[in-house]
Structure 1
Amino acid sequence: MSHPFRIPVKLPSSATCRSAGVYTSGALFSLGFWFFVDAAVYSKVANPGDVHIKFPEWIPLICSVLGMLIINSIEKSRLMADSFSYSGGDVAWKAKLVLFMGFAMLAGGLAGSVCFLILGYIVPEYPWPTLYFGVANVIANSLIMLSCVSLWLSQNIEEDYTYNLSL
């Protein structure tokens, strides 16, 4: 068999893609948390000003983490299930509702961090070291959102030898 290229190109297996996605997700999640914790510690310890990160600014991060947990607790097969579950309801409808709630929590976390950035730091026109607190909150929530997407996609990769038989 002849190859169109001089160097044979081998695509990675689904197990390799799954592992890479999970590790990427973990790296993004920890990097996001690091940004926010770094800003919180800096605001309390090294910031000479009166502006500090307080508990309400943690709420968007908590919402993003809860949204990530909700989204990644749902399997792709549940979203396409058309049978009735043992509890008497439609499995796909329930899974889609829970998935929507997870995405709403994730989007609410990101929107809340943007609101804190604009209303808490940009409108009062704080200089850069203080403005970093709001920017770090937005970066942290964005990285957690990307982590969620990476983890969900990598968990739902089809196996190499999966056969979809339908009648």
Structure 2
Amino acid sequence: MSSHRLFRFPKPQWVNSANTRTAGVYTAGAVFSLGFFFFIDAATFSKSSRNGSDVHVKFVDWIPGICSALGMLVINSIEKGRLNADSYSYSGNGVAWKARLVLFLGFALMAGGLAGSVTVMVLKYVVPEYPFPTLWFGVANVVANSLIMLSSVVLWISQNMEDDYTYNLAL
């Protein structure tokens, strides 16, 4: 066994295949759309007459989802190779710290979106002690932001898999 390895057991071959990468991208898209489905379902139900309360989903409820979606966009627009790009000869002028800063800002947006959805749920729905059909508006917001964060993790992992036999063409 090689002394340069970190783990004792080798990584399975199917982990770095193109099919696994494609399945990861599609799974991330499904989880992302499922997250927004929960929130849009709650938003449309809040405007219906069967709501049973005077509480509706307003723009304040949308802000955490917008922050999480922007954070996902920022995080997944950064290549994994750029995070340690200062060690390569083609990059100079501190590409790695800029990429790390942008990645941190993306994670801050996503964390702020999730924390904002929990805050909106607690302040708008839990503290006034609304019953569950109305409380679902806040729960759906938290579920939506959690699923957006999960989809970002899945997309980041699946897009940054290293495969020796896959070539990326860039102009």
Normalising by the smaller structure, the TM-score range is 0.7 to 0.9
Distance change (3 Å), C-alpha of 1:115 and 1:85: farther
1:35 corresponds in structure 2 to 38
What is the rounded CA distance, in whole Å, between the counterparts of 1:32 and 1:85 in structure 2?
A: 41
TM-score normalised per structure 1: 0.86
CA contact (8 A) 2:83 2:99 kept: yes
What is the rounded CA distance, in whole Å, between the counterparts of 2:90 and 2:80 in structure 1?
A: 19
Deviation at 1:20, TM superposition (A): 1.1
Letter of the 1:146 partner, please give it: L
Deviation at 1:48, TM superposition (A): 2.6
* The one of 113, 118, 134 aligned to 1:114: 118
What is the rounded CA distance, in whole Å, between the counterparts of 1:29 and 1:48 in structure 2?
A: 29
Alignment partner of 1:81: what SS?
helix
Alignment partner of 1:43: what SS?
helix
Report sequence identity in percent: 69
State yes or no: 1:19 paired with 2:25. Answer: no
2:76 corresponds in structure 1 to 72
Letter of the 1:18 partner, please give it: R
CA contact (8 A) 1:14 1:160 kept: no
Q: Which runs of 4+ in 1 moved over 3 A?
A: 9-13, 83-88
Alignment partner of 2:119: what SS?
helix
State yes or no: 1:148 paired with 2:156. Answer: no
2:103 corresponds in structure 1 to 99
Q: Which structure 2 segments of 5+ residues have no match?
A: 1-11, 167-171
CA deviation profile, 1:62-93 (whole Å, cap 9, x unmatched):
00000000000000000010169999730000
CA contact (8 A) 2:85 2:91 kept: no
What is the rounded CA distance, in whole Å, between the counterparts of 1:101 and 1:52 in structure 2?
A: 31
CA contact (8 A) 2:16 2:162 kept: no
* The one of 46, 62, 66 aligned to 1:62: 66
Number of residue pairs aligned between Structure 1 and Structure 2: 154
What is the rounded CA distance, in whole Å, between the counterparts of 2:52 and 2:149 in structure 1?
A: 32
CA contact (8 A) 2:125 2:135 kept: yes
Letter of the 2:111 partner, please give it: A
